Amino acid sequence: MPNNLASINEAFSTFEVHESKVRSYCRDFPVKIRHAKGSKIHSVDQQVYVDFFAGAGALNYGHNCEPLKEKLKAYLDNDGITHSLDFYTEAKEDFIYTFQEEILHRRGMKYKVQFTGPTGTNAVEAALKLARKVTKRSNVIAFSNAFHGMSLGSLAATSNPKKRQGAGVALGGVTFMPYEGYLGEQVDSIDLIARMLQPGSGVEAPAAFLIETIQGEGGLRCVSARWLQRLQALAHEHGALLIIDDIQSGCGRSGRFFSFEGMGVTPDIVCLSKSLSGYGLPFSMNLINPDHDVWEPGEHNGTFRGNNLAFVTAKAAIDTFWSAPAFERELQQKIVYLHGRLKALAERSSEYIPEARFLGRGFMCGIDVGSGEVASNISQEAFRAGLIVETCGVHGQVVKLLPALTIEYEVLVQGLDMLAAAFEQVIGIARYSEEKAA
């Protein structure tokens, strides 16, 4: 790994000269990658990194997952169709059938599927359009610290001021309300939202409530089942739809296939993307309550809706992992271990950083260290030691872990040891400066 700025500049000059300044993750993790397998990333200069980032949640089964790759290779070898707009294809039929049987039917869920453009933000755009069309209303309720994507419709429902600034136009059609706990544990934000929907508040009747059950970019806050049930009741009382954005928290990230599973709600629309293909291939889909499928043909078109290669790997991911009961059981055991280690680390850190605490659910969790600078230093220190772990939250104050659900125990342990050492190093520096100042 290059260890000084001059060599970094030289190693990355092609990108620095020719690629737009908009690039971001590569600035925090300046490494030129050659290949990746499972939860390990290999750089061109022979460094090996443990991956606790998993493509921002797009690689729930790790890099180049073998059973998925085998199916993909066989499909390509047979000249299976790659691009087909929304023509009927065998690969699409096989995926739809498997998803309906193995994911929806097993959970007693009834939805139609809509293949949107391949990005998460396009799935959110489609969900918002559909909710507005169904209800003939324009206002949407989104929540504090929400992230739903970077195209204008979903950006309007994203709260981060820096991201919103990039729009260059007024972002409208959305009213923000407080997420559970945003106003402190003592304030019941559902009561407040209910009041704000009363005539006279000035808030327009909403088409939908759009929510993440675990806030991915916004800082790993979660909603409780009770809060979510009350939100759904409120939405329906006001003739609005409940849209759950499960783009980051879905496909097993929470420990179950859907993040809202077992929470006693039936969303009207569910947005899925990121790990849906299971292989890091671009692929998004909305689940729609059949009563709300009021689209006219072609009303949400796009050249890349439904990616046949992704249909193949998505089906293989379901067959390999979700149809095997042992997978969820083993995942639960790993979650217990991961949370135990993180809670202990948060506890130790809180001696020096009183705000330090564990946040999140399932394999989407981390530690709030109360400051973007400290979190970034920890992430950088971990990177130097060979671990890729990002930060999130409006100030970047949360060290956020998204390991692959399939990570081997020894790699999980190795990564957590590196993370603990990075905390020790950074907090040790804080302790040292404290002692010096005293």
Which residues are near ligand PLP by CB under 6 A? 56, 119-121, 124, 147-149, 212, 216-217, 245, 247-248, 273
Handedness of CA 415, 420, 421, 426 (dihedral sign): positive
Please say which residue, 247 or 342, places its beta carbon nearer to ligand PLP: 247
Least distance CB 119 / ligand PLP (angstroms): 4
Least distance CB 56 / ligand PLP (angstroms): 6
Say how far apart CA 63 and CA 229 lie, in whole Å: 36
Please say which residue, 280 or 370, places its beta carbon nearer to ligand PLP: 280
Please say which residue, 348 or 395, places its beta carbon nearer to ligand PLP: 395
Burial 261-293 (b: 16+ CB within 10 A, else e): eebebebbbbbbbbbbbbbbbbbbbbbbbeebe
Say how far apart CA 236 and CA 66 lie, in whole Å: 44
Say how far apart CA 386 and CA 46 lie, in whole Å: 11
- Residue 115 structure tokens: 């293949």
Please say which residue, 67 or 181, places its beta carbon nearer to ligand PLP: 181
Least distance CB 217 / ligand PLP (angstroms): 6
Q: Is 108 left (phi over 0), alpha (psi -120 to 50) or beta?
A: left
The residue at minimum Cβ distance from ligand PLP is 120
Looking at residue 81, its amino acid is: I
Least distance CB 147 / ligand PLP (angstroms): 5
Least distance CB 58 / ligand PLP (angstroms): 8
Please say which residue, 43 or 393, places its beta carbon nearer to ligand PLP: 393
- Residue 206 structure tokens: 């909403």
What does the chain come to in residues? Answer: 438
Please say which residue, 143 or 423, places its beta carbon nearer to ligand PLP: 143
Least distance CB 150 / ligand PLP (angstroms): 6
